[in-house]
Amino acid sequence: MKKSPKEEPEPPSVENVQLNVPILQQLYHWDCGLACSRMVLQYLNRLDDEEFQKAIRDLRLTKSIWTIDLAYLMGHFGVKHRFCTQTLGVDKGYKNQSFYRKQFDTEESRVNQLFAQAQACQVLVEKSTVSIGDIEEHLSRGHPAIVLVNAVLLLCDLCSSPVKYCCFLPIGQKCFCRSPDYQGHFIVLCGYNKASGSIYYNNPAYADRTCSTTINNFEEARTSYGTDEDILFVYKDS
């Protein structure tokens, strides 16, 4: 006799996943999101440097990169994606945050317009809460994700010294920033280990390593006020 859906056994969970996502370093203090996009596109064998530069021009991307910009970038390359966020547009409360304050007035209307036009442009955006279980299931299927985190809070367990969260400046340039409460930074999730409770990620501030942190630390960094809990799921089967 056929079992009811409730009696069907669940597929076995994958205990350890580490995707071979290439590590590409950001060039400036502002282009971490673009570096993450390049990592993902190269992982999908979709990266063409000339086409990537053309996409940046076509989408009019500047030194202010939001998660919605990265979703449009995936759409430009025909990559299947799903952008989950807590705010469909710009949170007006960010105007008082030092990280957003300088460009808030000029960026607010641009970003809100991108959200408004997303469906017509076949950019998939949804207001939803994502659990760590959702993230692990996505990774277990071989799909990476780009996540906005508060770099002030994100701590790598493998790095001997923490990245200077204020700037991510290229080697040789001095940092004169004061310690902020929030520093938005994009990373690429590329795996997890359930036994150790770890999340693996590529930090575009580095060019030579995959980082690891605890699930608790990752959750604190990605749900910090300022991130909107933005996560861009990307799929191999595009």
Task: Give yes or no for residue 9 having a pLDDT over 50.
Answer: no
pTM here is 0.86
Answer yes or no: is 162 within a domain.
yes
pLDDT at 167: 47
Q: Supply the pLDDT for residue 11.
A: 47
Radius of gyration for the chain, computed over Cα atoms and rounded to the nearest angstrom: 18
pLDDT at residue 161, as a whole number: 60
108 — pLDDT class (breaks 50, 70, 90) = confident
Bigger pLDDT: 162 or 152? 152
Is pLDDT of 195 > 60?
yes
Q: Note whether residue 8 is domain-resident.
A: no
Per-residue pLDDT reduced to its tens digit, 156-172: 998 866 554 444 444 44
Counting other chains too, the contacts that 115-121 makes at CB distance below 8 Å and 24 or more residues apart are 115/68, 115/88, 115/89, 116/89, 118/68, 118/71, 118/72, 121/72, 121/75
CB contact at 8 A, 216 and 67: no
State yes or no: pLDDT of 7 exceeds 50: no
Task: Name, in order, each residue with C-beta under 8 angstroms of 207's C-beta and a sequence gap of 6 or more.
Answer: 23, 24, 25
The CATH number linked to 228 is: 3.90.70.10
Residue 7 maps to a domain = no
Range of the domain at 214: 15-234
Does the pLDDT value for residue 178 go beyond 90? no
- Whether residue 142 lies inside any domain: the answer is yes
Count of domains for the chain? 1
Report the percent of the chain where pLDDT is more than 70.
Answer: 83
177-198 as b/e: b if 16+ CB within 10 A:
eeebebbbbbbbbbbbeeeeeb
Answer yes or no: is 2 within a domain: no
pLDDT given for residue 107 in this prediction: 84
Looking at residue 97, what is its pLDDT? 73
Read off the pLDDT of each residue in 2-25 and give the average, rounded to a whole number: 71
Between the two ends of the chain, the Cα-to-Cα distance in Å is 38
Give pLDDT, residue 29. Answer: 87
| 166: in domain | yes
What would the 3-class secondary structure string for the chain be? CCCCHHHCCCCCCCCEEECCCCCCCCCCCCCHHHHHHHHHHHHCCCCCHHHHHHHHHHCCCCCCCCHHHHHHHHHHCCCCEEEEECCCCCCHHHHHCHHHHCCHHHHHHHHHHHHHHCCCCCCCEEECCCCHHHHHHHHHCCCCEEEEEECCCCCCCCCCCCCCCCCCCCCCCCCCCCCCCCCEEEEEEEEEECCCCEEEEECCCCCCCCEEEEHHHHHHHHCCCCCCCCEEEECCCC
Q: What is the pLDDT of residues 197-235, one digit of tens each?
A: 999 999 999 998 999 999 999 999 999 999 999 999 999
What is the Cα–Cα distance from 126 to 123, expressed in whole angstroms?
10
Compute the average pLDDT of residues 135-162.
91
What is the rounded distance in angstroms from the CA atom of residue 76 to the CA atom of residue 96?
Answer: 33
CB neighbours of 45 closer than 8 A, spacing ≥ 6? none
Residue 6 lies in a domain: no
- Residue 148 scores a pLDDT above 80: yes
Residue 207 lies in a domain: yes
